[in-house]
Amino acid sequence: MSSRLLSGRYELLEKIGDGGMAVVYKGKDRLLNRFIAIKILRPEFTKDATFVENFKRESQAAAGLTHPNIVGVYDVGREGNINYIVMELIEGRTLNKIIEDEAPMDYKRVIDISKQVASALRIAHKNKIIHRDVKPHNIMITNDGIVKLADFGIARAVNDATLSTGSKIVGSVHYFSPEQARGNYVDERSDIYSLGIVMYEMLTGKVPFDGENPVTVALKHINEEIRPPSELVDGIPPALERCVMKATNKYQTNRYSSADELIEELDNISFVTDVAGTSIFAASDVIEKRNKRRAEIEAAAEEDEEKQKEKKRRKRKRIAIITAIVLLLALALGWYVAFRMGVFSPTKPAPDFIDKTFEQAKELAEKEGFELKQGKDVYSNTIAEGRIATQEPDVGIETAKEGTITVHVSKGSKEGMVPNVVGLDKEDAQKRLEEYGYIVGNIIVDTQPEDEGTVLEQKPVAGSPLDKESKVELTISDGKGVEKGTVPSVTGLSLKEAKSAISRAGFAVGRVDYDWSNSVSKGYVMYQQYQANSLLDKGTSIDIQVSKGKEPEPEPVVPDEPDEPEQPAETGEAESGDTGEAGDTQG
């Protein structure tokens, strides 16, 4: 770090950010002569081998994501004990800062930002990548208003390793889905839940759940219902509130099934609120005129009966006209919404042309009833030269029948950029490398649980500059490794629930101890042997400790009373009784 140069290539210029997991520097790539952002992991994370390995793999996978709403990852590297990632440099502010300064935010801006984040998630989910840590701190807004979602690799690595290293990370728990809080299976709908919480915070300026510690907040996500945002802030359209409440439903099956579905819903809300706003203003003007005229009629109550009857007839006529106008406006609104939703013009989802040749795509387009137009040639690190890299409209978007779909053909990666082959089997990896002009070099076999032949690591990593016809070293799995499982989070659960969660995850329940606790209720788990979300060999026993409740206070110590002095006998009977008692004792 003293030389301010990493890997002989990346020059550190100035620190521009300081977060819970990493320090961010503005830098310059001397090889490509461009400004970049360099994120250096904090030392406490580099000590965790599991975290570093997961971070490396997930960042390499994220490097293959190319989308206007995703912060580009250029390189992942290590120099000495420094682990770093090289990213696109963004000029702007985090959404977290914008919320601090401007919330509650205008609902139209909330819709716009949410659609852009959902567009980023749509691309990630189609590439089988779940972000797992969508929050305002990971969302950048450029000076031009473009939304950029960041930290795909770090988010996944943190969830797979630990969330308890340092107090700066636990803030993410405010955006956790209930299944993440339980340590259960997560999918695309878990990211949608987190985005719903972000939408809630943009609209109200507050997160729905807060508490003194992360466990308290996590339990609220699991057990408590979210308070509707309209109870905190006025003026939120009911349709948008329903959208937020559906996205944050505690059950995955009740949320939006995909980012596409959420984007479509937000589009419909935009149409309805725009048109409805116009109609309401027009109707309110008519109603105001009607009320004013009614006041004039009441003020003329002293006029003679004939004039009053004539005015009443005019009043009824005006009401009939107003009613007709309101009905016409309602019909126009319904027609407009139906037209925008495609009721009067037949539509169908745009076919998937990605990774096809133009000829193959044209044949498919004719079969599906669309016209195909060739756009511009673009660079791609994931799609081979001569095949379609992107399309407009995107795959699955409702498009008018016989409409035009524009496709952009890949001209391959930029000269000397290594493609990503991690996760492919050996044969597919070899084909991918050959398509980009490279040769498979040394192959290292490692004992891991992944399927035999799966590529675990590549050298150089994806995106690295390398002359064509150079060799790329691969590390592949022999499929003989012990299967790993993810340790569930059982702290805060009852003993029965904890045992069930441990068994479902493929582990055995080990020793169960009991101890007093002033913070955890009786019968609930307050300690588990292995950290939640860490990787562990399946079948391993996990010890847990259960609360016995609050420790009872000790009873006060009462001092012994002093012996009473002997009293002289007052009667003969007393003396006789004392003698007899003494005699019984001796006998």
Which residue is catalytic, options 48, 75, 112, 133?
133
- Measured in degrees and rounded to the nearest 5, phi and psi for residue 142 equal -70, 170
Please give the C-alpha separations between residue 438 and each of 74, 169, 417, 430, in angstroms, as whole numbers.
Answer: 19, 40, 10, 9
Q: Which residues contact 53 (CB under 8 A, 6 or more apart)?
A: none
Q: For residues 367 and 361, what is the distance between their CA atoms, to the nearest angstrom? A: 10
Tell me how far the alpha carbon of residue 175 is from its chain's centroid.
7
133 is catalytic: yes
DSSP string, 216-265: HHHHHHHHSPPPPGGGTSTT--HHHHHHHHHHT-SSGGGS-SSHHHHHHH
CA dihedral 93, 98, 100, 103 (to 10 degrees): 180
Contact criterion met (CB below 8 Å) for 149 and 131: yes
Q: For residues 22 and 38, what is the distance between their CA atoms, to the nearest angstrom? A: 10
Instruction: List b or e across 271-297, with b for residues whose CB sees 16 or more CB atoms inside 10 angstroms.
Output: ebbebbeeeeeeeeebeeeeeeeeeee
Contact criterion met (CB below 8 Å) for 502 and 490: yes
Q: For residues 138 and 20, what is the distance between their CA atoms, to the nearest angstrom? A: 12
Q: For residues 282 and 440, what is the distance between their CA atoms, to the nearest angstrom? A: 69
Contact criterion met (CB below 8 Å) for 453 and 426: yes
Q: For residues 355 and 501, what is the distance between their CA atoms, to the nearest angstrom? A: 41
Q: Select from 571, 208, 128 the least CA-distant residue to 382.
A: 128
Question: CA 356, 361, 364, 368 torsion: positive or negative?
Answer: positive
238-247 vs 259-299: helix crossing angle, rounded to 10: 150
Q: Which residues contact 99 (CB under 8 A, 6 or more apart)?
A: 105, 136, 201, 202, 205
Contact criterion met (CB below 8 Å) for 181 and 168: no
Q: Which residues contact 191 (CB under 8 A, 6 or more apart)?
A: 121, 124, 125, 130, 131, 132, 134, 259
Rounded (5°) CA angle 270-272-275: 105
Q: Select from 486, 485, 456, 449 the least CA-distant residue to 163.
A: 486
Contact criterion met (CB below 8 Å) for 71 and 166: no
- AA identity, residue 64: G
Determine which helix (DSSP H) or strand (DSSP E) holds 15, and give its type and residue range.
strand 10-18
- 10, two tokens: 């990346």
| Residues identified as active-site | 133
